[in-house]
């Protein structure tokens, strides 16, 4: 027992917290006796109070003389004259679903056991990538399968562990990503959404597979050098058995006024203190430690950090999980990332005012990068007299040393190390115009500008699915430009200072099929994997993959240094040329070998021959990466003191030296 919180994983023991109970029973039956399903007729055993643990009860199933097999079980709680309350085990590691959800345990030779799993040969030669080497692929697991038609208007995604493993994992490894961030995979109460309302915190979602399936997926990811990051929801739970067993101990009163959102669930109470510990905090700590030990996960992404509004708990969570991971896997990297929509970068730094003046989490989602990069990609960075210039904002975006507050129109403190910022241009978290998939964002705007339609979801989908794919001779210039601008967004993302992350489907320019502003439909809008083969889109993964390879193999991109060596004289003018160039120097003098050079023209004017300074004299070493898709092969001519290159409108070119 640690801090008064019993060990719920002790062999043979079933332990559960229950408040105000006169008696607690467990009832159970072999799963194979389902043909006589009647829980009221199942065998029952009374639980005893756990010594020195307030409101905890236990039973040792090893002492029940049970035949071998798998058993489903649930608790029956007696409180006064009220009807008994029936609840599943909130600590269940494996669940079953038949007229309700229940935990299961297994008996072999009279004792409880957990199915064994071999982690032999788990790691590749060289181990797993460090945090500064990561390229993260964000994936709602349901999107790993083709959609199943439900009716004329909706498709229902039903991906699972097997779909990701058998249909996409090798492709992702070939693309070059070395980390997958899985949206919540713990069992959730709602079937069709993304899982942001966990019910059983210790069990994989039944719709995804069983514990062995989940472990096998993690192992296969690791064998390919891909780390697995889990998205965890700790602000609230939905239909969690803890609510009926010990709701007042673990959760806030549903009627209590609070700025914390409940998202249709019940908010955890981090302040209740019992026997020297905070029950809700300890429950969530134990949950994370369990997934580290049993599933070998490599880090966590904390959902709804702003809503949780308890930095002390989150800091404890970081400390506890890092310690558990270090004990289990001392030679492996680990990462705890928070999603703070208020963009408070102080949470990743040791600063006065944080709990104990220490870092709260290792890294955070960089909302500012999403918003500023999208403005940059459409030449919508506007400035007023007295505000920071456009060039200042571009430098801050690429370097991450400052973040932009578009409400107060000023810079805020940024990041001191690239591993503190998870940069992205698109994530699953889209609900407003401007947050949609990149092809919708870019192509939809071009469609409106050029009179091809209104740029709506339906309009863009029609143009791609009908005109673009109609025949080789059908060509839409706006579409070709949009695809190259998506490639350009990856060029910026993968050469900026930070950990790059992108949403599944962006690597081949997928678009929405349903209304992304509808909170339910956006979760039911799966990736259309067939669009990988669309004209133009089929070339995009090759360029993206080359840029990912550059990011994961180049030391200069795994350090913090960046130097802007060219800005067009009119860059800051209202109608100026939006051309600039920067170098990821690797800490060496500009003009050295093994540096990465980015030349960008993020404005509507194109140039057949554009002159820039070029201090790299060994021109034989110059190589372009992630080649532009648009038009004829672009020109690049290095000269004695400069270089001349072609730059199409809104084009980004990347070179190594």
113 DSSP β-pair partners: 106
Q: Is 67 left (phi over 0), alpha (psi -120 to 50) or beta?
A: beta
The region of weakest confidence among 89-103, 231-245, 625-639 is 625-639
Q: Tell me which residue has tokens 């035949």.
A: 67
- Per residue in 392-406, pLDDT (tens digit) is 999 999 999 999 999
- Per residue in 348-393, pLDDT (tens digit) is 999 999 999 999 999 999 999 999 999 999 999 999 999 999 999 9
Hey, what are 454's tokens?
Answer: 């209104």
- Per residue in 401-420, pLDDT (tens digit) is 999 999 999 999 999 999 99
Confidence of residue 253 (pLDDT cuts 50, 70, 90): very high
Q: Contact, 93 vs 287, CB < 8 A?
A: no
CA distances from 553 to 133, 412, 494, 596 (A): 8, 31, 12, 12
56-60 sheet: strands from edge to edge: 13-17, 56-60, 48-49
Which whole number is the average pLDDT over 543-550? 98
- Per residue in 267-320, pLDDT (tens digit) is 999 999 999 999 999 999 999 999 999 999 999 999 999 999 999 999 999 999
The pairing of strands 596-601 and 607-613 is unpaired
DSSP secondary-structure letter at 352?
A: B
Confidence of residue 332 (pLDDT cuts 50, 70, 90): very high
- Give pLDDT, residue 119: 98
Is pLDDT at 256 greater than 90 in this prediction?
no
Is pLDDT at 154 greater than 70 in this prediction?
no
Phi and psi torsions of 159, nearest 5°: -70, 160
Hey, what are 187's tokens?
Answer: 């069992």
* CA 406 and chain centroid, separation: 24
Cβ count near 78 (within 10 Å) = 16
Nearest CA to 565 out of 589, 540, 537 is that of 589
Confidence of residue 92 (pLDDT cuts 50, 70, 90): very high
- Give pLDDT, residue 634: 82
Nearest CA to 241 out of 60, 19, 45, 2 is that of 19
The region of weakest confidence among 40-49, 125-134, 396-405, 624-633 is 624-633
Cβ count near 71 (within 10 Å) = 25
**Cβ-defined contacts of 160-168 (< 8 Å, 24+):** 160/207, 160/208, 160/209, 160/213, 161/204, 161/208, 161/209, 161/213, 161/214, 161/216, 161/217, 162/209, 162/213, 164/139, 164/217, 165/216, 165/217, 165/220, 168/144
Say how far apart CA 117 and CA 164 lie, in whole Å.
Answer: 20
- Give pLDDT, residue 152: 45
410 DSSP β-pair partners: 405
Which whole number is the average pLDDT over 113-119? 95
- Give pLDDT, residue 156: 64
- Give pLDDT, residue 22: 97
Q: Contact, 33 vs 261, CB < 8 A?
A: no
Of the two residues 77 and 468, the one the predictor is more confident about is 77
Q: Tell me which residue has tokens 């070493």.
A: 621
Q: Contact, 56 vs 17, CB < 8 A?
A: yes
Phi and psi torsions of 539, nearest 5°: -90, -15
Q: Contact, 45 vs 73, CB < 8 A?
A: no
Q: Contact, 157 vs 524, CB < 8 A?
A: yes
- Give pLDDT, residue 631: 65
Q: Tell me which residue has tokens 């966990």.
A: 198
The region of weakest confidence among 293-302, 317-326, 332-341, 518-527 is 518-527
Is pLDDT at 656 greater than 70 in this prediction?
yes
- Give pLDDT, residue 386: 93
CA dihedral 275, 276, 280, 283 (to 10 degrees): -90
Handedness of CA 183, 186, 187, 189 (dihedral sign): negative
* CA 38 and chain centroid, separation: 42
Q: Tell me which residue has tokens 């949403």.
A: 503
Hey, what are 52's tokens?
Answer: 């020195």
Hey, what are 47's tokens?
Answer: 């639980």
Which whole number is the average pLDDT over 506-526? 92
CA distances from 33 to 42, 70, 71 (A): 10, 10, 9
User: Taking the model in full, what pTM does it have?
Assistant: 0.96
Q: Contact, 642 vs 599, CB < 8 A?
A: no
Query: C-alpha angle 233/17/188, rounded to 5°?
Result: 30
- Per residue in 179-213, pLDDT (tens digit) is 999 999 999 998 778 999 999 999 999 999 999 99
Q: Contact, 238 vs 220, CB < 8 A?
A: no
């Amino acid at each position: 027992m640690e801090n008064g919180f019993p060990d719920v994983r002790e062999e043979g023991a079933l332990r559960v917290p229950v408040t105000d109970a006169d008696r607690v029973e467990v009832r159970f039956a072999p799963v194979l006796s389902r043909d006589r399903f009647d829980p009221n007729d199942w065998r029952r055993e009374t639980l005893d109070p756990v010594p020195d643990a307030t409101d905890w009860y236990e039973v040792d199933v090893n002492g029940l003389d049970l035949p071998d097999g798998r058993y489903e079980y649930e608790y029956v709680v007696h409180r006064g004259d009220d009807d008994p309350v029936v609840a599943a085990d909130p600590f269940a590691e494996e669940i079953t679903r038949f007229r309700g959800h229940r935990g299961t345990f297994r008996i072999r030779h009279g004792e409880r056991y957990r199915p064994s799993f071999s982690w032999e040969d788990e790691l590749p030669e060289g181990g797993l990538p460090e945090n500064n080497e990561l390229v993260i692929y964000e994936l709602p697991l349901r999107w790993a399968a083709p959609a199943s038609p439900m009716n004329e208007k909706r498709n229902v995604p039903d991906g699972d562990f097997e779909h990701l493993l058998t249909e996409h994992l090798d492709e992702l490894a070939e693309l070059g990503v070395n980390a997958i961030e899985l949206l919540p995979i713990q069992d959730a109460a709602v079937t069709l959404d993304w899982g942001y309302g966990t019910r059983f915190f210790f069990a994989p979602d039944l719709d995804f597979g069983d514990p062995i399936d989940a472990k096998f997926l993690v192992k296969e990811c690791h064998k390919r050098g891909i780390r697995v990051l889990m998205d965890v929801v700790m602000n609230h739970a939905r239909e969690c058995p803890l609510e009926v067993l010990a709701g007042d101990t673990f959760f806030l009163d549903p009627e209590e006024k609070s700025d914390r959102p409940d998202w249709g669930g019940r908010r955890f109470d981090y302040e209740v203190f019992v026997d020297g510990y905070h029950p809700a905090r300890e429950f969530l700590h134990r949950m994370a430690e369990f997934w580290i030990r049993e599933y070998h996960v490599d880090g966590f992404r904390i959902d709804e950090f702003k809503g949780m509004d308890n930095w002390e708990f989150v800091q404890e969570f970081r400390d506890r999980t890092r310690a558990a991971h270090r004990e289990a896997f001392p030679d492996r990297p680990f990462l705890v990332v928070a999603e703070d929509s208020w963009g408070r970068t102080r949470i990743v730094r040791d600063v006065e005012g944080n709990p104990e003046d220490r870092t709260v989490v290792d890294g955070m989602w960089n909302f500012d990068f999403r918003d500023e990069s999208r403005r940059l990609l459409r030449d919508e960075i506007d400035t007023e007299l007295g505000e920071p210039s456009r060039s200042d904002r571009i430098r801050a975006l690429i370097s991450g040393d400052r973040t932009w507050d578009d409400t107060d129109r000023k810079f805020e403190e940024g990041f001191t190390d690239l591993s503190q910022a998870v940069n992205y241009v698109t994530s699953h978290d889209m609900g407003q115009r401007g947050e949609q998939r990149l092809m919708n964002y870019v192509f939809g705007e071009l469609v409106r500008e050029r009179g091809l339609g209104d740029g709506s979801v339906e309009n863009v989908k029609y143009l791609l699915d009908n005109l673009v794919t109609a025949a080789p001779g059908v060509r839409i210039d706006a579409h070709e430009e949009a695809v190259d601008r998506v490639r350009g967004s990856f060029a910026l993302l993968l050469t900026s200072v930070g950990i790059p992350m992108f949403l599944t489907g962006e690597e081949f320019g997928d678009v929405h099929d349903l209304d992304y502003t509808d909170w339910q439909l956006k979760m039911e809008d799966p990736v259309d994997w067939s669009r990988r083969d669309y004209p133009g889109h089929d070339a995009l993964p090759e360029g993206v993959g080359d840029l990912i390879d550059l990011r994961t193999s180049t030391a200069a991109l795994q350090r913090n240094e960046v130097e802007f060596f060219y800005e067009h004289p009119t860059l800051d003018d209202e109608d100026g040329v939006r051309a600039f160039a920067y170098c990821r120097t690797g800490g060496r003098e500009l003009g050295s070998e093994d540096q990465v050079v980015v030349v960008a023209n993020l404005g509507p004017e194109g140039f057949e021959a554009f002159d820039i300074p070029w201090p790299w004299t060994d021109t034989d070493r110059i190589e372009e990466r992630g080649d532009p898709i648009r038009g004829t092969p672009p020109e690049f001519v290095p000269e004695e003191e400069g270089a001349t290159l072609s730059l199409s409108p809104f084009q980004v070119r990347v070179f190594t030296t």
